[in-house]
Amino acid sequence: MKKRIIFIANPISGTQQKQKIIPLIKAHLSQDDFEYAIVHTEAAGHASELAADAVNMGYDVAVAIGGDGTVNEVAKSLINKTTALGIIPAGSGNGFARHLGLSMNPKDAIYQIAQMNIQSVDTAFLNQNPFFCTAGIGFDAHVSHEFAKQTKRGFFTYASVAQQLFKRFQPQVYELQVDMNKIQKEAFMITLANAAQFGNNAFIAPQASVQDGLLDVCIVKPFKPMDRFLLAMSLFNKTLHKLPFVEFYKAKSVEIKSSSKMLLHLDGEPRHGDTNVSFGIKPNSLRVLVGLPKAL
């Protein structure tokens, strides 16, 4: 019996032209083994509606063609459903896809989809809003808000925005409840990680797993300006946890309080929060197609 797949493409995310991916699907996905449809999003939130429709129509897989924001929209409609999430990475960072061992080459990603290697992974939550890769408060959240205003996407635009913002950014004091432990910290940024990286192989939580039922809490405390290069290097060589101004915790639930309303990001997408936000995790709640048959 043929497997049924729906491809949900975001025509404006990331840096790749989606019209080049669609012909690859038609050329390399066997019509003997698969029945598929291709649809395009028309506005923010539309991908979630299309994915929910796919569940109701009994599709085996809903594939997000886009970046982490598109993946988030599709995946949140698949939580606790039998329809699995697939990804053809076409965003600026593709952090969740990279963690799952998926290829950044669209043709190879289509091949991986055809293998139908499915595993169950955790879903993280900011208040009641699901995320699958990372959420953050502080510097990376401010970068996310500024990055969203840019007309050009991609790693170099993100790096340029981060460099400009670093010159004027001020750390804040936060109160954290990490499971049963109360912590007060002045922080440059706080990241709640389900997966290991932001994207582009920048590993904010090198030891994170999407199958352990825990959030990795990364607190980057204030540091000397000259140490920003060390911080950047450690992201790309998976040694952030070794830096003296970085602390890590693992937790099932986290509550963060601030004296002012917080800017946040959710899988790289900017959000506005209150003075009190809560994070949690729901184990084994999302079926995903992965690239490598290993623990994630």
Q: pLDDT tens across 254-282, in order?
A: 999 999 999 999 998 999 989 999 999 99
DSSP 3-state assignment of 108?
Answer: helix
Percent of the chain with pLDDT over 90: 80
pLDDT at 26 over 60: yes
- Inform me whether the pLDDT recorded for 200 exceeds 70: yes
* pLDDT value for 18: 63
Same fold across 3-116 and 129-282: no
For the chain, domain boundaries: 3-116, 129-282
Kindly report which listed range (6-15, 29-38, 226-235) carries the lowest average pLDDT score.
6-15
Output the CA–CA distances (angstroms, integers) from residue 74 to 117, 140, 154, 218, 242, in the order listed: 19, 23, 21, 26, 35
Supply φ then ψ for residue 50, to 5 degrees: -65, -40
Is the pLDDT at 153 greater than 80, yes or no?
Answer: no
Residue range 3-116, CATH number: 3.40.50.10330
pLDDT at 151: 81
User: At which residue do the structure tokens 């309303």 appear?
Assistant: 261
CATH number of 129-282: 2.60.200.40
Task: Answer whether residue 81 shows pLDDT above 70.
Answer: yes
pLDDT digits (tens, 9 = 90+) for 213-225: 999 999 999 999 9
Query: β-strand 129-131 against 118-126: which pairing, if any?
Result: antiparallel
Residue at 9: amino acid letter: A
Q: How many CA atoms lie within 13 A of 86 on its CB side?
A: 28
- Counting DSSP H helices and E strands in the chain, the numbers are 8, 16
Average pLDDT for 7-31:
81
Residue 126 vs residue 148, higher pLDDT: 126
Cα 215 versus chain centre, distance: 13
Contact yes or no for 234/240 (Cβ under 8 A): yes
Q: What confidence score (pLDDT) does residue 125 get?
A: 98
What residues form DSSP beta bridges with 282?
Answer: 123
**pLDDT recorded at residue 164:** 87
Whether residue 3 is predicted with pLDDT greater than 90 in this model: the reply is yes
Higher pLDDT, 150 or 278: 278
Comparing 1-5, 12-16, 32-36, the range with the smallest average pLDDT is 12-16
pLDDT tens figures, 208-255: 999 999 999 999 999 999 999 999 999 999 999 999 999 999 999 999
Distance in angstroms (rounded) separating the CA atoms of residues 44 and 192 = 24
Cα separation of 183 and 217, whole Å? 12
Share of the chain above pLDDT 70, in %: 96
What pLDDT does residue 235 have? 96
- Return the number of other C-beta atoms located less than 10 Å from residue 235's C-beta: 18
- Asked whether 288 and 118 are in contact (CB, 8 A), the reply is yes
User: Mean pLDDT of all residues in the chain?
Assistant: 93
Residue 292 is predicted with a pLDDT of 73
Token pair listed for 213: 């039922």
Residue 16 pLDDT > 60 = no
d(CA 29, CA 52) in angstroms, rounded, equals 23
The pLDDT assigned to 294 comes to: 63
The Cα 264–Cα 270 span in angstroms is: 6
What average pLDDT does this structure show over 77-83? 98
